[in-house]
Amino acid sequence: MCYHAFNGAFRHYVCVACRLAFKGSTWPIRQRICPGCREQLVFAGYDFAAPRRRDTKAWSVVATVLAEGLTYDHRPGCGCSRLPSFRPRTRAQVRVRRCAAERLGLPLSVTLARRDAFTSESRDEQPPSPPAAKRDTT
């Protein structure tokens, strides 16, 4: 069953330039516009917690995460059978993940979603294990 379908969750929309966050219902899906700069708002996920408006460092981290196409959903997709995902909260965490992305040759969006930047975390990132060798019983 879908996690967000039954808890009445709202979608969070963000304007990074104005440092504003809004909640909107899931229906009807329409274009959301920032009242300050008249630009389109960015979908930030169901579980986004906006930093204070004066906290420019935290908003720069939010801008980096959203620019890579990630959202703040603790349960990606529909929420079924998946572990909560990680998102960096400080500029130092973003800096470490950028360094890891360069060293490992991975996209920044992959390393931003990892708890430990240098080790693969999810089942999707790990290479498939080789099949077990069959024994010949003859």
pLDDT digits (tens, 9 = 90+) for 43-53: 888 888 899 99
Q: Is residue 59 within 8 Å of 19, Cβ to Cβ? A: yes
User: Which candidate, 1, 6, 26, places its Cα nearest to that of 82?
Assistant: 1
**What are the tokens at 47?**
């579980």
Return the top range by mean pLDDT from 6-10, 63-67, 69-73, 132-136: 63-67
Average pLDDT of 9-36?
84
Could you tell me where the DSSP H helices lie in 1-138?
56-67, 91-104, 108-112
pTM (predicted TM-score): 0.73
pLDDT range class, residue 122, cuts 50, 70, 90:
low
Q: Is the pLDDT of residue 89 over 60?
A: yes
49/73 Cα distance (integer angstroms): 11
Q: 42-45 and 20-24: which strand pairing?
A: unpaired
Q: Is the pLDDT of residue 124 over 50?
A: no
Which range has the worst mean pLDDT, 5-9, 93-97, 106-110? Answer: 5-9
66/108 Cα distance (integer angstroms): 12
Determine the residue type at 86: F
How high is the pLDDT of residue 5?
53
Distance of CA 82 to the CA centre of its chain: 14
User: Which candidate, 39, 57, 43, 52, places its Cα nearest to that of 14?
Assistant: 43
How high is the pLDDT of residue 126?
47
How high is the pLDDT of residue 128?
46
